[in-house]
Homo-oligomer: A and B are copies of this chain.
Amino acid sequence: MNGADSLLETLRANGVTTVFANPGTSEMHFVDALDRHPDMHGVLCLFEGVATGAADGFARVTKRPAATLLHLGPGLANGWANLHNARRAHVPVLNIVGDHATYHAPLDAPLQSDISSLARALNGWYRSSQSPNDIARDAYEALRAAMGPPAVVSTLILPADASWGEVTEPATPLVVASPRHSSPDVALLAESLDALRSKRCALYVGGDATEKEHLALAQQLSHATGAKLLMETFPAIMDRGSGTANPERLIYVSEFAQAQLADVEALILLGTTEPVGFFAYPNVASRLAPPSCAIIDLAPPGVSAWEALVALSEEITVGPLVHENGAVPGRPSGALTPQSLADAVGATLPEGIIVADESNTSGTQLFGATRFAPPHQWMTLTGGSIGYGLPVALGAAMASKGRVLALESDGSMMYTLQALWTMAREELDVTVVCLSNRSYAILNFERSRVGVSVDGSTSQRMLDLDNPAIDFCALARAQGVPAVKVTTAEDLTTALERSYARPGPSFIEVELAKRPF
């Protein structure tokens, strides 16, 4: 048994069955070992950012880590941006990064680089295994760290000689005990109860607390106490739709979020951290809660939000869950606008679908239009690093074996468009809707917010995506994904229904008016 086999045995003993890979020479023994472990599913990705985003999506759905297989420093760097999103989603990921043989490293060969600094910048766990005998324990520790809680991104650096060398001290693989969240602090529980009884409060949910049961109990507490029920702007994955409690989502624009929080005297954090501005803006406060607001960090990531909610509800008499009534939108007609495209999605959304939302400015109406759709899950861009949507949809489809809807904007899609090829190869049930406005519309919007008002031609050219216009359907078809372009709301509605009815991936380009802002 060589080091690569030892690694695969520890992965399998811990239920890791999927590896999203873009291998190189230094990973060949790991690739070879896959043939001896036919229950490990290797998924080839044509760019590392696809592999890491897929691992993020896989973990959001299953709460379990998938592995990535990356080629030295450049491979980890190429995957880093989507690992940043995974880190901000608080999901477990295990990176396996091949490296030069230990004795080759001092020679400073062309591909030699400081992999540890790249890994350190992910704020998780990282280590380089120095011998085949170390790999089993190192992989176990990497997985234990990844699963947390709180979950993190672990990076196991695997020198080629550790991978190909013989294990001389084989051992039974170690299995990570089920991750167990800490209990909430008793004093903070008391402070929360006191605040709920005496102050204008808001329950601020995110992370784990966006699961259906958490949201229900949070809503019951909200109704019983008069506290607002607010949700973070970018949850990793949340339960939504008919029969699910519906928290008010904090708005992305700082000034609007500040208005939502203006009269709150105590903010009780459940599954997430204090809300702050996505960016800083001149003359706008970076913290979103008013300075006088007490921030009660009751259940940050790693602490059980469920236990916190139960503990609060044992002290506060709550009524039954109040079901809001509402209907799905009717089938829209006419021109494609942010509203009509959202209605088309809302009118057709099937039960159980998982939505990967990277629709940015064109998608402002989507959340509302799907409020009363059949129960589904919704994922968002947790870390702000664009190019997350297609890879995360790929990983979620691999994990769920069900239908995923990727709502993509054109600029973001161009970051990781290679994900389409893997969707086709793996015959995944992913519907991609590409919202094309030929613009980095979010930047045209942000530009005005940071106090820049001149519409100069040079700067404008930096924010527009036309000239030449991109044929998005052609990009999809070229990678094996059937594609259709729609220009009316009726056609979008029909295209969505057809896509849901047909196995495998499909691609819909939605041509919108340019630059809504």
Q: Which residues of A are in contact with B by a Cβ distance under 8 Å?
A: 21, 23-26, 28-29, 31-32, 34-35, 38, 42, 44, 46-47, 49, 73-75, 77-78, 80-81, 84, 88, 100-101, 103-104, 107-111, 113-115, 117-118, 120-121, 123, 160-161, 164, 234, 273-274, 276-280, 282, 286-287, 382-387, 411, 414-415, 417-418, 421, 424-425, 442-443, 446-447, 449-452, 454, 456-459, 461-463, 465, 467-472, 474-475, 477-480
Contacts and interface: CB of A to CB of B under 8 A. Distances in A.
B421 A104 contact: no
Nearest to A466: B425
B459 A31 contact: yes
Given A23-B462, A28-B443, A462-B23, A478 B467 contact: no
B467 A425 contact: yes
B28 A110 contact: no
A274 B107 CA distance: 9
A28 B446 contact: yes
Given A34-B462, A121-B117, A418-B414, A28 B452 contact: yes
Given A32-B454, A42-B458, A78-B78, 11 more contacts: A28-B450, A32-B447, A34-B462, A74-B81, A74-B383, A77-B121, A107-B276, A164-B451, A425-B468, A470-B478, A471-B479
A103 B44 contact: no
A468 B428 CA distance: 13
Contacts of A383: 74, 110-111
12 contacts: A23-B443, A25-B450, A32-B459, A35-B459, A77-B80, A78-B78, A80-B80, A111-B385, A114-B120, A117-B120, A118-B121, A160-B280
Contacts of A28: 443, 446-447, 450, 452
Given A110-B383, A468-B479, A477-B471, A73 B121 contact: yes
B109 A113 contact: no
A459 B44 CA distance: 10
Contact of A44 (B114, B462, B475): B462
Contacts of A442: 25
Nearest to A77: B80
B462 A421 contact: no
Contacts of A38: 458
A101 B286 CA distance: 10
A480 B443 CA distance: 23
Contact of A456 (B32, B75, B88): B32
Given A443-B28, A459-B32, A110 B46 contact: no
Contacts of A475: 474-475, 478-479
A443 B111 contact: no
B424 A462 contact: no
